[in-house]
Amino acid sequence: MALSLPYYYGHSGEQYAFFRIPKLLITDSRFDGVSSDAKLLYGLLLDRMELSYRNGWVDDQNRVFIIFTVEEVMETLRCRSEKAVRLFAELDSKKGIGLIERKRQGLGKPAIIYVKNFAGDIS
């Protein structure tokens, strides 16, 4: 059964906040093997980067980092831990395509995540 929803009129479409997913993730063949969910996660991580920058979360090399836990991914994407871990692995520089780099902090602290900028790396 279809929902009975109102139409958009005028500027009413501007009422929502949006996550930005770089168009290249969809159109560039280098990312053909990356799942749509991992691309969505990358967009979420980019969104978090803005907040980290405003809060001054930079390392000693002036690189902005974020903290986004598996639990936060599970809650945001409404998925199980296995899927959240797999999505991080898909994006990671060690196991996946290299769009993020995760650094463990140890002592039960969450990993620091560096979101990489691939836009200038177009061959």
pLDDT of residue 1 exceeding 90, the answer is no
Q: Would 49 be classed as within a structural domain? A: yes
The amino acid at residue 5 is: L
Confidence label for 119 from pLDDT (cuts 50, 70 and 90): confident
Instruction: Write down the pLDDT at residue 120.
Output: 66
pLDDT by residue (tens digit) across 63-92?
999 999 999 999 999 999 999 999 999 999
Say if 47 falls within a structural domain: yes
Write down the pLDDT at residue 44: 96
Distance of CA 66 to the CA centre of its chain: 10
Task: Kindly report the number of other CB atoms within 10 A of residue 21's CB atom.
Answer: 17
How many structural domains is the chain composed of? 1
CATH of the domain at 83: 1.10.10
Domain holding 47, by residue range, is 34-115
Kindly state whether residue 72 falls inside one of the protein's structural domains: yes
Interior CA angle at 9 toward 6 and 11, to 5°?
125
Residue 26 lies in a domain: no
